[in-house]
């Protein structure tokens, strides 16, 4: 079979979807059933400085130049990993689209209003048009079927994968952890969060919980990730409560630094309001970090019994209680770590790529 992967500009931006696409590409190449697989390069679009203009030109490109590429390459499948697919179809290639989450419907207030109509239109068009919809969790699969009234058979769950380095790298040496802590101004034991610093990730609730936890434990809170939507409100909260020295926002870190921060953390805390999957959960499990998380469907599905949950994502007191419960129990920490390390193996890219290949084969009728 001949496969083309198209991710919009996710690889260029270094986003999680971009990493997902690159890993999928690299692992699918190894299967003998795939005669040819490629990523489509768009250098002329990458150089357009205006994001709005680039998006308009990209939509035009999807419905013109890309159609010629599909016919010329005689592609069997084009997999759109970033939810936007063409309106036109001028080749015999099957359309596969990955839907990572339904934030635009579930928590629209956590997205910039100017983008909401665009995101909703793009996802609606994708799920109504694609020959196969790939969801990153069973939770999202069910949401898609219910929201759009689709037959569940049109949707296939293929989990996200975790980079091999998280699964296979040895524990970071203490002196190396110390060096990285010094770089970011971490002077104490610390709680860790990884993800975009935005409203959907519920970081203000985490900071409120941390305020209670530090009455009992001498800790810092480390937030690893880029600023996202309404970051200014979060920053204002830190300033008003005098927490800038105790809550550290690292911004982007390298993979090596991120692994070291996981390895050095007392616990990983993930209080999200909504997730489609939650790659940091798998990273934390792979690195043997005990997890406290909000009880939302996708997180329970992915972390399973490897996390300690609290029920209401906004209940910072309950979150603080769970964190303290974890920190005060060596037995609980050990149990969660053991379960997490085992659970993380289910998200290796070897397994994830095999699931995608199986979905492609079924779509083309190879396994029928």
CATH number for 209: 3.40.50.2000
**Structural domain contains residue 368:** no
Among the residues of 47-93, which ranges form H helices? 51-62, 65-73
Percent of the chain's residues with pLDDT above 70: 99
Question: 118 and 262 share a domain?
Answer: no
Question: 186 and 134 share a domain?
Answer: no
Question: 152 and 243 share a domain?
Answer: no
Question: 126 and 173 share a domain?
Answer: no
Question: 51 and 138 share a domain?
Answer: yes
**Structural domain contains residue 353:** yes
Q: Write the pLDDT tens digit of every residue in 140-188.
A: 999 999 999 999 999 999 999 999 999 999 999 999 999 999 999 999 9
Q: How far apart are CA 260 and CA 289, in angstroms?
A: 11
- Is the pLDDT at 55 greater than 70? The verdict is yes
**Burial environment of residue 328 by CB neighbours within 10 A (0 to 12, 13 to 18, 19 or more):** exposed
Question: 175 and 134 share a domain?
Answer: no
**pLDDT classification of 190: cutoffs 50, 70, 90:** very high
Q: Write the pLDDT tens digit of every residue in 67-125.
A: 999 999 999 999 999 999 999 899 999 999 999 999 999 999 999 999 899 999 999 99
Give the CA count within 13 Å in the CB-facing half-sphere of 61. 17
CB atoms within 10 A of CB 260: 24
**pLDDT classification of 230: cutoffs 50, 70, 90:** confident
**Structural domain contains residue 326:** yes
**Structural domain contains residue 41:** yes
Question: 204 and 333 share a domain?
Answer: yes
Question: 267 and 353 share a domain?
Answer: no
**Structural domain contains residue 47:** yes
Domain with 245 in it = 164-346
Question: 153 and 250 share a domain?
Answer: no
Question: 221 and 359 share a domain?
Answer: no
Q: How far apart are CA 20 and CA 81, in angstroms?
A: 8
Question: 263 and 185 share a domain?
Answer: yes
Question: 148 and 182 share a domain?
Answer: no
**Structural domain contains residue 48:** yes
Q: How far apart are CA 41 and CA 171, in angstroms?
A: 37
Q: Write the pLDDT tens digit of every residue in 235-263.
A: 888 888 888 889 999 998 999 999 999 99
Give the CA count within 13 Å in the CB-facing half-sphere of 40. 26
Buried b (16+ CB within 10 A) or exposed e, 334-353: eebbebbbebbeebbbeebb
- Determine the pLDDT at residue 367: 66
Tell me how many domains the chain contains: 2
């Amino acid at each position: 079979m001949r496969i083309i992967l198209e991710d919009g500009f996710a690889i260029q931006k270094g986003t999680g979807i971009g990493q997902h696409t690159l890993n999928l590409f690299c692992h699918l190449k190894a299967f003998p059933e795939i005669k040819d697989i490629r990523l489509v390069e768009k250098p002329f679009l990458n150089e357009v400085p205006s994001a709005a203009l680039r998006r308009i030109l990209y939509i035009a490109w999807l419905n013109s130049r890309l159609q010629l590429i599909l016919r010329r390459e005689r592609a069997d499948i084009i997999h759109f990993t970033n939810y936007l697919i063409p309106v036109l179809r001028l080749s015999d290639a099957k359309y596969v689209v990955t839907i990572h989450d339904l934030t635009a419907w579930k928590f629209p207030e956590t997205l910039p209003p100017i983008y909401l109509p665009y995101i909703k239109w793009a996802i609606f068009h994708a799920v109504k048009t694609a020959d196969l919809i790939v969801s990153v969790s069973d939770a999202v699969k069910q949401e898609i079927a219910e929201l759009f009234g689709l037959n569940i058979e049109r949707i296939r769950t293929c989990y996200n994968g975790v980079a091999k380095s998280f699964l296979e790298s040895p524990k970071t040496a203490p002196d190396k952890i110390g060096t990285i802590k010094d770089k970011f101004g971490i002077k104490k034991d610390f709680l860790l969060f990884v993800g975009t610093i935005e409203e959907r990730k519920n970081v203000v609730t985490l900071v409120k919980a941390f305020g209670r936890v530090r009455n009992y434990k001498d800790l810092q809170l480390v937030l690893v990730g880029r600023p996202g939507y309404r970051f200014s409100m979060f920053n204002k909260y830190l300033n008003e409560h005098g927490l800038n020295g105790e809550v550290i926002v690292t911004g982007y870190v390298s993979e090596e630094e991120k692994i070291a921060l996981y390895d050095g953390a007392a616990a990983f805390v993930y209080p999200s309001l909504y997730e489609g999957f939650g790659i940091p959960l798998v990273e934390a499990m792979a690195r043997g970090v005990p997890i406290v998380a909000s009880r939302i469907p996708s997180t329970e599905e992915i972390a399973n019994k490897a996390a300690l949950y609290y029920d209401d994502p906004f209940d910072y007191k309950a979150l603080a209680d769970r964190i303290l419960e974890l920190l005060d129990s060596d037995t609980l920490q050990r149990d969660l770590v053991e379960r997490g390390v085992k659970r993380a193996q289910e998200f290796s890219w070897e397994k994830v790529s095999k699931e995608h290949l199986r979905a492609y084969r079924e779509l083309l009728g190879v396994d029928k």
